[in-house]
Amino acid sequence: MASRSESQESGVNEDLDSANIVKVDEPVGNLSKYYALPPGFSGTPKKGHLMFDACFESGNLGRVDYITEFEYDLFIRPDTCNPRFRVWFNFTVENTAPYQRVIFNVVNFSKTKSLYREGMTPLVKSSSRPKWQRIPAKNCSYYRCPDHRKNYVLSFAFAFDSDTDVYQFAYCFPYTYSRLQTFLEELDKKNMACYRRELLCLTVQQRRVDLLTVTSPENMKDDLKKRVIFITARIHPGETPSSYVCQGVIDFLVSSHPVAKVLRDYLVFKIVPMLNPDGVVLGNYRCSLMGFDLNRHWQEPSPWAHPTLVACKNHLMQLDEDENVHLDFYIDIHAHSTMMNGFMYGNIYDEEERFERQAVYPRLLCANAEDFSMSNTSFNKDAVKAGTGRRFLGSCLDPKTHCYTLEVSFFSYNTAVSQGMSPYTEEGYFKLGRNVARTFLDYYKLNSLVVPTKKNVSKSSQRKDSNGDGKQRLSGRSDYSGKL
């Protein structure tokens, strides 16, 4: 499988992993309505001559090599202005023959470690079946290929069962910039008093970066003491699960759920749901339009190269300096390509009390969310992470501010009671987001160092959250939680 001629393999450059070598002629643009034709063929393409396309929002496929009528080598287009990152793919195939069977080999991944080793498979949908499904694991393999200078290759077999459908294949569930804008516009139409949307800044390509505020109308007064939770997502464009988790947070906070109402009464939520819109639209995996990994530039972002970071950082600093604001949390949502479950990264501090306080929220989230893993959660101060939001903000914000990276697997999760892995779905990511939001109630009730800035929770709410003996439930699965 995935064979290549020696002449086509000439010329190499170094990849992310020193042992992983790729060709210098990596594609620089996406394919647009490209027919993969047999060598020497001329004339009009026939049924079964597959047409590949990735020239759409968040699309990525840079090249296709025809091997045989049953096999094709596929090349991921590297991130714009940065050939080191080649992970995300998202493309369509049409002009299929009835019951045509093929093998696709994705031959130029920049990572050797991958959840494909653990059973993860690509997603597929078609025009007649628009719901994403995973290709069966028995039809996929991830292996080191000697015909591609020992690069790791993902091969998967697929049978096209219709000659009229357009089939779409993707690394993970896509979540586009347009989808986010549509979601926010629908929220705008509801004219909710608890919700405000404003323009934080424009990207290099002049796209909106939205800043959402969710709280009770009373808390929006500038002179009122308030506690703020700041959440960001999608700084890495290929980490699409982070957008689903973030939408789950937003959906819950603006809902009529009693926990959401209490949270709005006590707290102000500031949310930037997409920090890298240009990279998302372009179909990059990790970088911005200009090839920057934005999550390594928090220390000294450039207004011309990293405008979204400059705007977000400035807003955070203003909140931190405001005497009427207690900035309690900063959470940056990501997706992880080699680990299972949801989990968190936190910072290591010299002060034992500060370290102990920041361990509280992850433990509560673990009690509320069956897919969250405390064993995967860790606290560190790696030098290579110094430019990340979690590390930088943890060093410069008020010491009482908890700074986390929330990670969620691209693939699946294990639970204490389940047998085997449970693959994530779009709904599964939404649910994690809802659990992230409602866990804040448990945190503020438990943490005696935090005093609510408004009225106490109503007695009826206290009764709903009591287990009958005056103790607060740590599991979060009381009547208060409702159906998620």
pLDDT in tens, 127-140: 999 999 999 999 99
Burial-class residue 416 by CB neighbours within 10 Å (0-12, 13-18, 19+).
exposed
More confident residue, 5 or 168: 168
CA neighbor of 333 nearest in space, from 405, 271, 401, 270: 405
Give 86's contacts (C-beta < 8 A, 6+ positions apart): 22, 26, 76, 77, 78, 79, 108, 109, 110, 285
**Each residue's pLDDT tens digit, 377-419:** 999 888 778 899 999 999 999 999 999 999 999 999 998 777 7
Rounded Cα–Cα distance for residues 267 and 228 (Å): 6
Rounded Cα–Cα distance for residues 203 and 304 (Å): 9
Rounded Cα–Cα distance for residues 268 and 298 (Å): 23
- Catalytic residue among 14, 353, 407, 426, which? 407
**Tell me, what's the pLDDT at 146?**
85
Strand order in the sheet with 34-35: 34-35, 51-53, 90-94, 167-170, 123-126, 133-134
Q: For this structure, is 407 an active site residue?
A: yes
pLDDT at 190 over 60: yes
Q: Is 344 helix (H, G, I), strand (E, B) or coil?
A: strand
**Each residue's pLDDT tens digit, 50-63:** 999 999 999 999 99
**Tell me, what's the pLDDT at 7?**
32
Q: Which of 21-30, 254-263, 421-430, 432-441 has the lowest mean pLDDT?
A: 21-30
Name the pLDDT band for 23 (thresholds 50, 70, 90): very low
**Tell me, what's the pLDDT at 447?**
63
Domains along the sequence of the chain with CATH? 34-170 (2.60.40.3120), 177-449 (3.40.630.10)
Distances in Å between the Cα of 208 and the Cα atoms of 81, 274, 278, 288, 430 are 22, 9, 10, 14, 23
CA neighbor of 438 nearest in space, from 404, 475, 413: 475
pLDDT at 176 over 90: yes
312 φ/ψ angles, rounded to the nearest 5 degrees: -65, -45
Rounded Cα–Cα distance for residues 271 and 25 (Å): 40
More confident residue, 471 or 439: 439
| Residue 460 DSSP code | H
Q: Which of 40-49, 228-237, 439-448 has the lowest mean pLDDT?
A: 439-448
**Each residue's pLDDT tens digit, 292-344:** 999 999 999 999 999 999 999 999 999 999 999 999 999 999 999 999 999 99
Residue spans of beta strands (DSSP E) within 98-150? 100-106, 123-126, 133-134, 140-145
Mean pLDDT of 249-254: 99
Q: Which of 142-146, 239-243, 407-411, 425-429 has the lowest mean pLDDT?
A: 142-146
Query: Is 196:213 a contact under the CB 8 Å cutoff?
Result: yes
Average pLDDT taken over every residue of the chain: 88
Give 108's contacts (C-beta < 8 A, 6+ positions apart): 22, 23, 26, 75, 76, 86, 148, 151
Query: Is 427:370 a contact under the CB 8 Å cutoff?
Result: no
